[in-house]
Structures are given as structure tokens and as C-alpha cells.
Structure 1
Amino acid sequence: MVPVILGRLALSILLGLGIVAGLIWGEVIAIPNHLNPFTPLRIADDVGWLTRLKLSRLERDGEQCRAVLADSFVSHRSVPDRPLEQGCGLSDAVEVSRSLVGLSREFTATCSLTVVWALFEVHVLRPAARQHFGQDVVRVTHFGTYACRNVNHRANGRRSEHATANAIDIAGFVLADGQQITVKSDWTGSNARRSAFLRTLRNGACDFFDVVLSPDYNEAHHDHFHFDMGPYRACR
């Protein structure tokens, strides 16, 4: 008798969830965008447990990804696809000239990496600057995105995410008052506030990027953060 009751209870719960999902899908029930699994990601939305799910959809749906960028503050233009040759090429990439902050130079990146970079700026970078320094970041210095090479520039081994413009290396930041904070000088430097700021960025980036590597990872990253949207997960 108990299994029958439990079975009926489970069926009732499933039916109830189905009805609620249908009402949400049909917009009969209004809920915030960041709590609605059926609405596309918006960069300005609060971050929640659905954020990574929505990000994963963008990686599979280039059209939806471009729609998210079109509705954002990121100044960009589409870049023609470049078929893979020896593991290097471009697909669904954009050239970014500016976002919420200035850039040391333009960069080309996959659409999904660009969306995640924008999320990082809004939800990690700018709040961290205000928390630690009471002001905004006005420029980001980076080492680039696309480079047809292997991981850590090795002669042999697997291709880096840079080989498909699916990674970006960040070297430093300039604050509104002109202060320059660099990973190379300030990760283990004498200025505790700058070091804490960089660690806040590293830790916060792990909520969005699939791989985040800092000077704590190895010597090859002593002067920059590596962020990518590859198939692996790492936060070091």
C-alpha cells in the first residue's frame, strides 16, 4: 500500500510541476528573468543557480548568443568563421572594441567567452573595485585572445583554448584615479589591498569562466590571469 501511495504522490508532484512550468512558459506566471529557466540570459540579470545553465545554452546556440550580445553594452562586430586547420580557427567569434570599461586594445573572442567576460565585468570586476578602492576600473590590460599554439606554448601536446579565441589573458587594471594594478607586481606585492582585490577577481571569475588560472597555478601565469570557456573546469 505504501509504494502505491508514494507513487501517486510522486505523480501528483510531477503533474504539478508540469502545470507550473507550462504557466511560466506561457508567461501566465511572471517571475524574475534570472529565476525563469525558459528566458534567455541577460547580462544585467542577477546571478543565480540558473546562470551557468543559460550560459551552456549559449555555447550551443550561436544565434541566441549573438542576440544576448546585441542586447548588451558590448561594442562588437561579427568576425567571419575561419575553418579549423591543425586545431586553429574561429567560429561564432566577434571583435570587441569596448565594453563597460576600456581595453588596452581590441580583441577577438568566441561569442560565449565575450558574454562571460561581460558578466565578469558587471558582477565581479566593478563591484570588487568599489569594494576595495571605492572607485571604478576604467581600463583593462590584456595579452590577447587568439593565438594558434599549444598549451603553455609547448612544442607538443593539445591545443590551447587560445587557438580558437576561446580564452583571454588579463595582465592588469587601471582605476579611475590612475592607479595601475598588475598581476605581476601586485599578486604577492607589498600592497595588501591590491593583492586582496586581485584574489577577489580570481575567485569571482571562477563563478563564470570554466577555467581560471592565476600565479598560484604555475610560473607561466606569474604575470596574468587566464580565463577560458573550454571543456575542462579549474579554479587555481
Structure 2
Amino acid sequence: MVLGAALLLTGCQGSRLVREFPPTPLALDAPIGLATRSKLVALGGDTPRCLALLDAGGVRHKVLPPVRQDQCGYEDGVRLERGGALPVAFNPGGLAVACPVAAALTIWQREIVQPAAQRHFGRAVTGIDHYGSFSCRRINARSTGDFSEHASARAIDIAGFRLAGGGSVTVRRDWNGEPARAAFLRDVRDGGCRLFTTVLSPDYNASHADHLHFDHAKRGFGGFCR
């Protein structure tokens, strides 16, 4: 009996490892695995595959023309549209992000945001407020140094969430506020760390007191989450 249980456990773990092994194709409707984040980052070098992934995953989107502004820009931009695999509305509308970020946001809202909202509020999230993605600037808005991931639309700043039936949760007001709201924000922050290589919150510094910063900076096998 013990041997049978051990074999079953080994089989389950083996099945999970096969599903999460990096060469296994990424699917937007699959559970988050150990290699999901690295697969999302890898999409940055293969726009046709990324767009095909959005199509296969039922993500409504519009492919955007390339943008070039000084030393900044992107060639893999999409505008996310509500519907299909993305029942939430991004506010303000017309959110333009690099395709891999769109794929990550699709998984994040389904696997992380909605379950967290049900746990803490018993309601769904119907809207996500943001401060945008593309911005031709350097890290920390310095005049010199490396450009931010915002400069290639590979980052997004999340400000808050709108709940079904009314009400909202915002990073600025609720990070250290009512326990359920604060716990929800930490859950969606921590879940973002499974899909983005950089996640910055109010716990990082005062510049992030009103938003969660997600990006796909190339960091090898690691990430930075705070």
C-alpha cells in the first residue's frame, strides 16, 4: 500500500515536471508552472509565436504598428480588448503593451487576481486601473543610465482593481489599510512574481507607493520581487 502511494506520488510529480519542462509549449489556459515565467520572457524574441499564443488562448487584441521614439520603442505591441479570455477591462482603455506582457497579464488575471478576489471579497474583479506601459525614460527617471523596461513596453504599472457590484481596491489607499484589502494586494503582488521577472511594490520604495510595477527584464533564471 505504501509502495503504491509512493508510485502514485512519483507519477504525479513526474507528470508535473513534464508539463513544466521548458521545452513544453506555453499555453495561456494552463496552470502556472515552474517554467512559465521564463517561457513568457522568451516570447520577447518571437513575436509571431507570441501573437499566435494570444489567438489560441482566446485573447482579444489588436496588433499595433511599430513605435520608435529616440532610443525607445517596440515592434511587438498589442492593445488588449475586453472579452474572451480577458473579462476584465483595463482602465484607461487603449492599453498598449509588448505581446509577452499581454500574455502574462492574461494568465495573471485568471490564475492570480480572480482567485484572490474571491478569497478575500467573494466577488470578481471587473476592471484593473493602470498608469500605462510605454514611456521613453530611464530607470528611476534619471538623465543617464539604463533605460527602463517601460521604454520598450515590457513593463506595466498597476494602480488598483474594480470589484463586481461596486467598490475598488487601490495600492495607495489599501496597501496598509483594511486587512482583507491589504492581503489581496499582497497576493496579487506575490502572484505577479511567478510571471514577471521584476515586481516592485510599496515595500520596495516610496516611488512605488501607489502602484505595482511588473516587467520582463532579462534576469537569467532569477527574478526580483519586493
TM range (shorter): 0.7 to 0.9
Map 1:66-85 onto structure 2 (within 5 A). Answer: 66-83=51-68, 85=69
Alignment: residue pair count: 205
Q: 1:168 to 1:31 in 2, by over 3 A?
A: closer
Are residue 200 (structure 1) and residue 200 (structure 2) matched? no
Of the candidates 63, 67, 90, which is equivalent to residue 74 of structure 2?
90
Q: Which residue of 197, 208, 219 corresponds with 2:206?
A: 219
Q: Give distance in 1, aligned partners of 2:206 and 2:38.
A: 33
User: Does the CA contact (< 8 Å) of 2:161 and 2:170 recur in 1?
Assistant: yes
Q: Distance in 2 between matches of 1:223 and 1:197?
A: 15
TM-aligned CA distance change 1:31 to 1:183, over 3 Å: closer
Which letter does structure 2 place at the counterpart of 1:210? T
Structure 1 window deviating more from structure 2 (161-170 vs 151-160): it is 151-160
Amino acid at match of 2:58: F
Counterpart position of 2:6:
none
Query: Quick one: structure 1 residues 127 and 158, their matched pair in 2 at CA, closer, same or farther if it must change by over 3 Å?
Result: same
Q: Distance in 2 between matches of 1:68 and 1:79?
A: 16
What is the CA deviation profile of residues 56-94 of structure 1, one whole-angstrom value per residue up to 9, with x for unaligned ones? 4422221111111111232211112234x5430112111
The SS at the match of 1:173 is strand
- Please show how residues 30-109 of structure 1 align to structure 2 within 5 Å: 34-35=19-20, 38-83=23-68, 85-98=69-82, 99-104=86-91, 105-109=93-97
CA distance in 2, matches of 1:235, 1:32: 24
1:110 aligned to 2:109?
A: no
Using the TM superposition, give the Cα deviation of residue 50 of structure 1 relative to its aligned residue in structure 2, in angstroms: 3.4
Q: What's the offset of the Cα at 1:100?
A: 2.3
The whole-number CA distance in structure 1 between the counterparts of 2:201 and 2:38 is 25
Rounded to whole Å, the distance in 2 between the matches of 1:37 and 1:142 is: 31
Q: Deviations over 1:105-126 (max 9, x none)?
A: 2211111111011111111111
Change (3 A) 1:35 1:163: closer
Q: Residues of 2 paired with 1:79 and 1:33: CA distance?
A: 35
- TM-score, scaled to structure 2: 0.84
Greater shift in the superposed pair: 54-63 or 196-205 = 54-63
Alignment of 1:125-144 (within 5 A): 125-144=113-132
**Matched residues, percent identical?**
40
Structure 2 partner of 1:153: 141
Max Rg structure? 1
Which has the larger displacement, 50-59 or 86-95? 50-59
Unaligned runs of 5+ in 1: 1-29
Query: 5+ unaligned residues in a row in structure 2: which ranges?
Result: 1-14
CA pair 186-215 structure 1, distance change in 2 beyond 3 A: same
Choose which of 159, 164, 187 in structure 2 pairs with 1:176: 164
For 1:147-192, what per-residue CA distance to the aligned partner results, in whole angstroms no more than 9, with x for missing partners?
1111222222221111111100000001112111100000012x11
Instruction: State the SS of the aligned residue for 1:115.
Output: helix
Out of 109-118 and 42-51, give the one that drifted further. 42-51
- Contact 1:168 / 1:227 at 8 angstroms: preserved in 2? yes
Indicate the residue corresponding to 1:185 in structure 2.
173
Which moved further from structure 2: 64-73 or 200-209?
64-73
**1:44-65 residue CA offsets vs partner (Å, 9 max, x unmatched):** 1122223234324422221111
Amino acid at match of 2:225: C
CA distance in 1, matches of 2:39, 2:137: 30
Does the Cα contact within 8 Å between 1:34 and 1:45 map onto a contact in 2? no
